[in-house]
Amino acid sequence: MPIDVVLGLQWGDEGKGKIVDLLAENVDVVARYQGGPNAGHTVVHGDRKFVLHMVPSGILSPHAECLIGNGVVVDPERLLQEFDKLGAAGVDVPARLRLSHAAHLILPQHTMLDEMAERLRGAIGTTKRGVGFAYGDKALRWGLRLADLLDDAHWIDRLRSNLERHALALGPAFQLERELARIAERLEPARIKLRALAVDGPAWLWERMGQGRRILAEGAQGAMLDIDHGTYPFLTSSNTTTGGVCTGLGVPPSAIGEVWGVIKAYSTRVGEGPFPTELTGPEGEALRQHGNEFGATTGRPRRCGWFDAVIGRRSVALTGTTKIALTKLDVLDDLAEIPLATSYRDLKGEAAPFPQTAEQFAAIRPQTETIPGWNCSTQGIQEWGKLPRAAQAYVARIEELLGVPVALISTGSDRSHTIWRT
C-alpha cells in the first residue's frame, strides 16, 4: 500500500492535526517524519481538546499504531510529559507508539543555546525549544540519537563529548562536569521509559508496508517554512515538504500515494518573516480574534492576512499535492467581501517572479481580486450542497487558482464539522 501524506501549504498552523485525526480513522499507522516540539497540532474530540507536540495525531485513533521517525528531533523530557498528559485523558501512548533509534535528541544544552541565540541575533520567531540546534548538531555529525541515549556503555561519554563542543558558546559559567551529571540525571527516566519503544524505524515501516497496512505520514509546520524552499531565514530547520517523508521515515519516493495539502481559507504566520497579504490593522485583528489565531505551542498571536494563491501554487508544486483540505472557512462568515491574492507585481507595476529574499518580498505588492462574501454561518455544515452559493464560489476559485481539487472543507474545530467531497 502507498503512504499517504498530510502536510501544510502555508507557514504552519493550517489545521493539520484535525485532518490527520480524520484520516487516521481509515489507516493502520500514522508516522511523523520531521520537526519536533515546536509543532502544535490541535485535535478536538467533543468537549476535549488535545494539543500534540511530538506524539503523532493518530494516537487518538485507538486502532492506529504510531511512529516517530528518524527525521524528527525528540526532546525526551517533553515527550514523557506528553505521555503523562495523554495518559491522564485515558490515552495509553506507550502501547501504540514507537520511536526510531535514529531520531536525534534535543538536549538541555540545545534549549540553552537557542535562548541565547535568539537574544543575540534578534528574534526570527523561534519557539526556543532547541530544535534548530539539535538539527545543527545532526548536520555537524556530533548529535546524539535515541540509540545513543539507550547505549549503556557509551551514553555518558557521548553526552560529555557533545557538551565539550558547546562549552565555549555556553560561556564561562558553564561547568562541564556539573552539567554532565545534572543532564544525565534528568534524562535517566527517559532512558528507562523509552527503551521498550525504540525500533529500527525504516524496517518497522517496511514490514507494515509489505503487509499491506494503510500508512499516513504526518508533517509539521508548512511548506513555506521548509529549510530549503521556505522564506529563508525565517523558517524551520527541517524539510517540511514531501521529500522529507522519504528521508524522515526511510521510504522511497515510489511509496508516496496521495498528498493532502492543508491550507487555510485565509493566511496566518507566527513570528517574523515575509507575509505579502498581511493585514496589520483592524481587519487583521478581527481575523485573529474570530479565528482564535494564537499559537498552540507558544500562545503568541498569529499574524493574519488574506488568502495568497501565489504561496499556495508554489507549495502545491513543491509538495506534489493531489488533494486540498481547506480549513477555517467559517472564520470568513461575517465578511461582506473577501480579497485574495492572485499574483505579485514589483514597485514599477510589472509582473514579479517569486521573491527569494526578505528584501525582494518587501519590494513586491500582491495583486488581489475580491470575491463576494456570504454573510451567514457555515459553522458545522457537513454537506457541500448546504454551503451558501457564495461560499461555494470562493472554494471553487481557490481550486481554480491552485489547480488541485478541494476534497475536504473544515467548517469548525470539531471533527464532525467537515465536508467531504471525495
Which residue of the set 4, 13, 114, 308 is catalytic?
13
Check pLDDT > 70 for residue 121: no
What pLDDT score does 196 carry?
97
| Statement to judge: residues 180 and 204 lie in one domain | no
Q: How confident is the model at residue 129 (pLDDT cuts 50, 70, 90)?
A: confident
Which residue of the set 4, 21, 41, 166 is catalytic?
41
Where is average pLDDT lowest: 255-269, 271-285, 315-329?
271-285
| Statement to judge: residues 16 and 82 lie in one domain | yes
Check pLDDT > 90 for residue 171: no
| Statement to judge: residues 181 and 212 lie in one domain | no
Sign of CA dihedral 408, 10, 415, 83: positive
| Statement to judge: residues 252 and 267 lie in one domain | no
Contact 236, 227 (CB under 8 A): yes
Q: Higher-confidence residue: 42 or 160? A: 160
- Residue-wise pLDDT tens digits, 390-399: 999 999 999 9
Percent of the chain with pLDDT over 70: 98
Q: How far, in Å, CA of 240 to CA of 223, rounded?
A: 6
- Residue-wise pLDDT tens digits, 184-205: 999 999 999 999 999 999 999 9
Angle at which helices 155-170 and 176-194 cross, to 10°: 130
Q: Region 387-410: what's the mean pLDDT?
A: 98
- Residue-wise pLDDT tens digits, 32-64: 999 999 877 788 776 788 888 999 999 999 999
Check pLDDT > 60 for residue 125: no
What pLDDT score does 38 carry?
85
Our count of domains for the chain comes to 3
| Statement to judge: residues 312 and 368 lie in one domain | yes
| Statement to judge: residues 253 and 280 lie in one domain | no
| Start-to-end C-alpha separation, the chain | 19
Q: Region 303-324: what's the mean pLDDT?
A: 99
Q: Region 299-328: what's the mean pLDDT?
A: 97
Check pLDDT > 90 for residue 267: yes
Q: Domain ends where: 170, 194, 218? A: 194
What pLDDT score does 40 carry?
79
Check pLDDT > 80 for residue 325: yes
Range of the domain at 37: 3-100+199-260
Q: Domain ends where: 260, 275, 301? A: 260
Check pLDDT > 80 for residue 70: yes
Check pLDDT > 90 for residue 168: no
Q: Higher-confidence residue: 297 or 40? A: 40
Q: Mean pLDDT over all residues of the chain?
A: 94
| Statement to judge: residues 23 and 157 lie in one domain | no
Q: Region 264-270: what's the mean pLDDT?
A: 97
Check pLDDT > 70 for residue 73: yes
Tell me if residue 53 is catalytic. Answer: no
Check pLDDT > 80 for residue 119: no
What pLDDT score does 410 carry?
98
Q: Region 80-89: what's the mean pLDDT?
A: 94
Where is average pLDDT lowest: 27-41, 129-143, 164-178?
164-178
Question: What's the CATH number where 345 sits?
Answer: 3.90.170.10
Q: Domain ends where: 260, 287, 303? A: 260
Check pLDDT > 60 for residue 300: yes
Tell me if residue 330 is catalytic. Answer: no
